[in-house]
Amino acid sequence: MQADFVSGLFDCKHRGWMCSFLGVAEAMQGGGQLFRGAARQSEGLLHLVRYRTIQCDIVLKEMTMNLTRRKMIFLVGGGAVVAAGSAFGYAATRTPQTAHLPWDLAGKYSDPRMRALSWALLAPNPHNRQPWLADLSEDGIITLHADRDRMLPHTDPFNRQITIGLGCFLELLRMAAAEDGLHIETALFPQGSSAAGLDQRPVARIAFASDPAVVRDPLFALVPDRRSNKEPFDVDRPVAPALLSELAAVVRSGAQFGGTVDPTEVHDLRLLTREALRIEVETPHTYQESVDLFRIGHHEVDANPDGIDFTGPLFETLRLTGQFNREAALDPTNFAYKSGLDAVFANTDTAMGHVWLVTNDNSRETQIATGADWLRVNIAATATGLGFQPLSQALQEFPEMAEPFRQVHERLAPEGGTVQMLSRIGYGPQVGKSPRWPLESRIMNV
Ligand SMILES: Cc1cc2nc3c(=O)[nH]c(=O)nc-3n(C[C@H](O)[C@H](O)[C@H](O)COP(=O)(O)O)c2cc1C
């Protein structure tokens, strides 16, 4: 019981490509000494003492426990080390209050279109931008638009990834409608589209019609449990090759599924995805795009429930004491920057397998279809208990990424085509829900 208590206490949720602070030990070299030993090993005797900080008074106890490296909590500054947790009444009032409500409200609307939309907005999407806007002004119709204010111009210059996210959204919309015995007829890009980028023209016009013969999708039941898992995976737990077939089996909209758990191939892809991440972080304009989307602490996450969220006791504490903010994250000499880089490498380096989708062409319609398949693969991974994290950096189309982009295509699409998605798989810790904007905020013309 004590172990659970402690585990909850130290749990922190890290979202987006920058996940947590693994460089703790290094950062502590010149500062507080308390956890140095523990940071270097997976088990440690944690001695907690009472410290007073500027912001809060945190009562700490002495206890012995198993302490995983990921769950180290620390704060270094003038030699002070502070641990904070919900049991001390600290985190309870400092977790997002509204950002996760859309997960609870899914399916709880009386209008069938709203009901389906309330599920669809739980779809995975790049940097959690949630770039969907629904126009309901026509009876029985949803006209879906891309929110042009929610693009990622630096890492996704042609809106390819954003379009895939919209494809995930549309597939979830279809599944949710089917649960209600509704068939949806979807016309993609009814006014045309541009390869250069999404514009003000609609992405889709969706007509709802009652259809008693509509087939319900067994994957739908797992939608509330689907996650992108941005934690390191267990390197002692291999992924059974047969699971790749289970993921491949759900693909049905035209993408070619690929996957490997072969240690040599996984090793090579670990290196490739790590290098691509390094380039994204070390390229100022692409890194800035991510940092601009950092939501640090519960206030920021509730105010803007999107982007890359950093909540939980660790990040609240770091924020309060000025150890982690956007400036620190941008400063390559700051430990927040170095620790962030180490943390994302800890993810690429613990991949126990990889899966990907390749398409012959790269039209907007194909990108939408890829999203449909990707959502299904993500949910199928949930069904098997596998952790699943897209690693899109090597697929990005900005000039600095040209070499990893070439390599990933040479390796995964030797016959030609576009590698649309790439994910690592493995067994990781359970992770929480990511924030969402309320459905009402995603409706146009009201
Ligand atoms: C097209 C696409 C690209 C993505 N690329 C990444 C990525 O490179 N790294 C990552 O950690 N997550 C990536 N994701 C996952 C999103 O960050 C995630 O879906 C979003 O934060 C919402 O979280 P959730 O999936 O847990 O609901 C991607 C998702 C999509 C659909």
- Domain borders along the chain are 1-94+271-333, 101-223
Cα–Cα nearest to 223, from 119, 153, 140: 119
Q: How many CB atoms lie within 10 A of CB 151?
A: 20
pTM: 0.84
Q: How far apart are CA 173 and CA 180, in angstroms?
A: 11
Tell which atom from ligand 1 comes closest to the C-alpha of 347: 11
Token digits for 160? 């390819």
pLDDT tens by residue, 67-97: 233 333 333 322 222 333 333 334 445 689 9
Ligand 1 centre from 120 Cα, in Å? 15
Answer for the pair 106, 118: CB distance below 8 angstroms, yes or no: yes
Tell which atom from ligand 1 comes closest to the C-alpha of 374: 31
Q: Is the CB of 164 under 6 A from ligand 1?
A: yes
pLDDT tens by residue, 426-440: 999 999 999 999 999
pLDDT at 1 over 90: no
Helices (H), 11-153: 24-27, 36-39, 101-105, 112-120
| pLDDT at residue 381 in the model | 98
Q: Whose CA is nearest to atom 6 of ligand 1?
A: 390
Q: How far apart are CA 347 and CA 424, in angstroms?
A: 9
| Residue to substitute in 125, 128, 378 for testing ligand 1 pocket (most ligand atoms within 8 angstroms of CB) | 125
pLDDT at 282 over 80: yes
| Residue to substitute in 17, 127, 170, 309 for testing ligand 1 pocket (most ligand atoms within 8 angstroms of CB) | 127
Q: Which CATH number fits domain 101-223: 3.60.21.10, 3.90.1150.10, 3.40.50.11540, 3.40.109.10?
A: 3.40.109.10
pLDDT tens by residue, 196-205: 999 999 999 9
Tell which atom from ligand 1 comes closest to the C-alpha of 127: 17
DSSP conformational letter for 77: B
pLDDT tens by residue, 376-403: 999 999 999 999 999 999 999 999 999 9
| Rounded average pLDDT over 181-190 | 98
Beginning with the edge strand found earlier in the chain, give each strand of the sheet holding 353-359 in spatial order: 256-260, 353-359, 418-426, 387-390
DSSP 160-226: HHHHHHHHHHHHHHHHHHHHTTEEEEEEESTT---SS---SS-SEEEEEEE-TTPPPPGGGGGGGG-
| Distances, alpha carbon 361 to alpha carbons 91, 194, 308, 371, 423, in Å | 48, 14, 30, 14, 20
Token digits for 299? 């206030």
Which residues in 366-377 are b (16+ Cβ under 10 Å) and which e? Answer: bbbbbbbbbbbb
Ligand 1 centre from 329 Cα, in Å? 20
Token digits for 326? 């956007």
Q: How many CB atoms lie within 10 A of CB 214?
A: 17
pLDDT at 192 over 90: yes
1 Cβ neighbours under 8 A, 6+ residues apart:
none
Q: Is the CB of 17 under 6 A from ligand 1?
A: yes
| Rounded average pLDDT over 182-191 | 98
Q: How many CB atoms lie within 10 A of CB 346?
A: 18
Answer for the pair 84, 320: CB distance below 8 angstroms, yes or no: no
Task: List the single range of 71-75, 273-277, 372-376 with lowest mean pLDDT.
Answer: 71-75
Q: How far apart are CA 303 and CA 96, in angstroms?
A: 9
Answer for the pair 128, 335: CB distance below 8 angstroms, yes or no: no
With cut-offs at 50, 70 and 90, classify the pLDDT of residue 128.
very high
pLDDT at 353 over 50: yes
Q: Is the CB of 168 under 6 A from ligand 1?
A: yes
| Residue to substitute in 228, 376, 418 for testing ligand 1 pocket (most ligand atoms within 8 angstroms of CB) | 228
Task: List the single range of 11-20, 197-206, 332-341, 430-439 with lowest mean pLDDT.
Answer: 11-20
213 Cβ neighbours under 8 A, 6+ residues apart:
none
Please name the residue that has the structure tokens 């009386």: 110
State what percent of residues in the chain have pLDDT above 70. Answer: 79
| pLDDT at residue 89 in the model | 39
Answer for the pair 78, 51: CB distance below 8 angstroms, yes or no: no
Q: How far apart are CA 276 and CA 287, in angstroms?
A: 12
Q: Whose CA is nearest to atom 13 of ligand 1?
A: 390
Estimate to the nearest angstrom the gap between the alpha carbon of 172 and the chain centroid. Answer: 17
Ligand 1 centre from 55 Cα, in Å? 34
With cut-offs at 50, 70 and 90, classify the pLDDT of residue 233.
very high
Strands of 235-322 (E only): list them: 256-260, 294-296, 308-311
Q: Is the CB of 125 under 6 A from ligand 1?
A: yes
With cut-offs at 50, 70 and 90, classify the pLDDT of residue 445.
confident
Answer for the pair 33, 27: CB distance below 8 angstroms, yes or no: no
| pLDDT at residue 94 in the model | 66
Answer for the pair 258, 358: CB distance below 8 angstroms, yes or no: yes
Cα–Cα nearest to 267, from 378, 353, 346, 182: 353
| pLDDT at residue 93 in the model | 54
Please name the residue that has the structure tokens 């250069």: 196
Answer for the pair 16, 307: CB distance below 8 angstroms, yes or no: yes
Tell which atom from ligand 1 comes closest to the C-alpha of 168: 31
DSSP conformational letter for 292: T
State what percent of residues in the chain have pLDDT above 90. Answer: 77
Q: How far apart are CA 71 and CA 164, in angstroms?
A: 33
Q: Which amino acid is at 41?
A: Q
Q: Is the CB of 319 under 6 A from ligand 1?
A: no
Token digits for 134? 């629904």
Q: Report the chain's mean pLDDT, rounded to a whole number.
A: 83
pLDDT at 283 over 90: yes
